[in-house]
């Protein structure tokens, strides 16, 4: 039985003062939802205060990105061990990083292997554009992103990987995928590809999250699907009541 994971991606929102405010609004409601794993991914500059605030709660912390190298002349980058100082999770290959910052399946793969080495739980994002969706290319795109992005992983690490299926047309648009469509992508495209790569047992252990306009009203529909193992939540994770409601839906 896969324990559901609900992760909040704050993107480039919340300075330190605002982080403290949101965490205090979230903490008690979220801490009591033990039936689902919960993680919050604030910006790098808020990780230190968030780590302090979340100590002793059951809520995990994640970074939104990292470099694959351990140290050196990479101005503006953050290394895996720097992330590991504060975090248990790291989001890799979010579509906004692919779209605006030149992230590719190859860089995602390097980061994934670095996460493995640093003992971080990676949340690897995949998903098609609207044009690809409309052209019926979802399978081809998602399968290729998984094959290229997840290659070379050690068999014992594979079950730790979390995959987030995030159709780009659903991110921040208020137009979520239907739960049935997301289930089909998870169950008929992503999990069989994971099985090809890592074997059926590992594929059954890997959590596949859905992301794209998840909110308190639609979360339960997604979580009722057999291959939807949680959610990566953007906009709604910035609203304490919404995010707590989503976590509660995952815990049921
Ligand atoms: C995301 O940023 O990963 C995301 C899914 O955003 P939203 O929930 O706002 O669509």
Q: What's the token pair of residue 57?
A: 């709660």
Its domain, for residue 218, covers: 5-251
Do the bridges between strand 5-9 and strand 230-233 make them parallel or antiparallel, or are there none, so unpaired? parallel
Substitution site in 91, 166, 173 for ligand 1 pocket (most atoms within 8 Å of beta carbon): 166
Neighbouring CB atoms inside 10 A of 11's CB total 18
CA-closest candidate to residue 127, choices 211, 214, 39? 211
pLDDT of 226 reads 98
pLDDT of 28 reads 82
Phi-psi region of 213 (alpha: psi -120 to 50; beta: other; left: phi over 0): left
pLDDT of 186 reads 98
Closest ligand 1 atom to 173 CA: 10
CA-closest candidate to residue 163, choices 134, 189, 200? 189
Nearest Cα residue to atom 6 of ligand 1: 234
Is 182 touching ligand 1 by the criterion CB < 6 Å?
A: no
Signed CA dihedral, 26, 27, 32, 36: sign only: positive
d(CA 112, ligand 1 centre) in Å:
21
The string of DSSP letters for 20-32 reads HHHHHHHHHHHHT
pLDDT of 223 reads 98
- pTM for this structure? 0.98
Report helix, strand or coil for 56. Answer: coil
Is 235 touching ligand 1 by the criterion CB < 6 Å?
A: yes
pLDDT of 34 reads 87
Which H or E element spans position 62?
strand 59-63
pLDDT digits 0-9 by tens, 70-97: 999 999 999 999 999 999 999 999 999 9
**Are the C-beta atoms of 133 and 166 separated by less than 8 Å?**
no
d(CA 72, ligand 1 centre) in Å:
32
pLDDT of 1 reads 81
- Cα maximum dimension of the chain: 48
Residues with catalytic function:
94, 166
Interior/surface letters 30-65, b for 16+ CB within 10 angstroms, e for the rest: bbebeebbbbbbbbeebbebbeebbeebebbbbbbb
Which CATH number characterizes residue 77's domain? 3.20.20.70
Report helix, strand or coil for 211. Answer: strand
Share of the chain above pLDDT 70, in %: 100
Contacts of residue 32, defined as CB under 8 A and 6 or more positions apart, other chains included, come to none
Nearest Cα residue to atom 2 of ligand 1: 234
Contacts of residue 110, defined as CB under 8 A and 6 or more positions apart, other chains included, come to 68
In the chain, how many domains are there?
Answer: 1
Is 172 touching ligand 1 by the criterion CB < 6 Å?
A: yes
pLDDT of 27 reads 85
CA-closest candidate to residue 228, choices 252, 211, 248, 247? 211
**Are the C-beta atoms of 164 and 121 separated by less than 8 Å?**
no
Low-confidence ranges of the chain (pLDDT < 70): none
């Amino acid at each position: 039985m896969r324990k559901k994971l609900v992760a909040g991606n704050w993107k480039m929102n919340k300075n330190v003062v605002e982080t403290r405010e949101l965490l205090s609004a979230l903490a008690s409601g979220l801490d009591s939802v033990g039936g689902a794993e919960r993680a919050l991914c604030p910006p790098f500059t808020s990780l230190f205060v968030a780590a302090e605030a979340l100590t002793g709660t059951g809520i995990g912390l994640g970074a939104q990105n990292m470099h694959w190298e351990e140290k050196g002349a990479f101005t503006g980058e953050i290394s895996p061990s720097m992330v590991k100082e504060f975090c248990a999770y790291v989001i890799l290959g979010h579509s906004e990083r692919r779209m605006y910052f030149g992230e590719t399946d190859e860089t995602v793969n390097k980061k994934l292997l670095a996460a493995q080495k640093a003992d971080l739980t990676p949340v690897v994002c995949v998903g098609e554009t609207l044009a690809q969706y409309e052209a019926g290319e979802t399978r081809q795109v998602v399968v290729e992103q998984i094959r290229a992005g997840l290659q070379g992983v050690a068999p014992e690490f594979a079950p730790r990987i979390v995959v987030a299926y995030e159709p780009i047309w659903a991110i921040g648009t208020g137009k979520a995928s239907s739960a049935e469509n997301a289930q089909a992508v998870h169950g008929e495209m992503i999990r069989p590809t994971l099985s090809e790569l890592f074997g059926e047992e590992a594929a059954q252990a890997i959590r596949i999250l859905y992301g794209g306009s998840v909110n308190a009203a639609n979360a339960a529909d997604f979580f009722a699907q057999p291959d939807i193992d949680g959610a990566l939540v953007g906009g709604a994770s910035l609203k304490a009541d919404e995010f707590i409601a989503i976590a509660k839906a995952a815990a049921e």
